[in-house]
Amino acid sequence: METLFAEKEEIIWYLACRAEDVPVDGGACVLINGHQIAIYNFARRGEWYATDNECPHRQQMALSRGMIGSQGDEPKVACPFHKKTFSLQTGQCLNDDGYQIMTFPVKVTNGMVYIGVE
């Protein structure tokens, strides 16, 4: 665990997993402080993302198993059950204004994935 400050907010970095534990162009779920967090290795874009694992549409812990892709320049994940799509950058639902998920900063260092939690 490492503590950093960003824009006056304290971010605590938690070791989540090894980078090799997350499928290429896919996701995995980790439990940090009792909270399920989905981690995505968006290899086609060379980017990593983390969001809530729970889809707010039906309160199912499933987003880590969703398909990732892009809507224009916006990276997104689609819930595997009802196809609600969420921005991996902002958490905003892209096909229904009524839903939002949390997003978390990610860093990969020496083959290890860290999730930042405020």
Q: Does position 2 have pLDDT exceeding 90, yes or no?
A: no
How much is the pLDDT for 88?
A: 98
Question: What CATH code is assigned to 2-117?
Answer: 2.102.10.10
pLDDT, tens digit, for every residue of 11-34? 999 999 999 999 999 999 999 999
pLDDT, tens digit, for every residue of 73-112? 999 999 999 889 999 999 999 998 889 999 999 999 999 9
Task: Specify the amino acid at residue 11.
Answer: I
Task: Specify the amino acid at residue 104.
Answer: F
CB proximity list for 1: less than 8 A, separation 6 or greater = 12, 13, 14, 15
d(CA 44, CA 2): 29
Domain layout of the chain by residue ranges: 2-117
How much is the pLDDT for 5?
A: 47
pTM: 0.90
| Mean of the per-residue pLDDT values of the chain | 93
pLDDT, tens digit, for every residue of 38-57? 999 999 999 999 999 999 98
d(CA 38, CA 43): 15
Cα-only R_g, the chain? 14
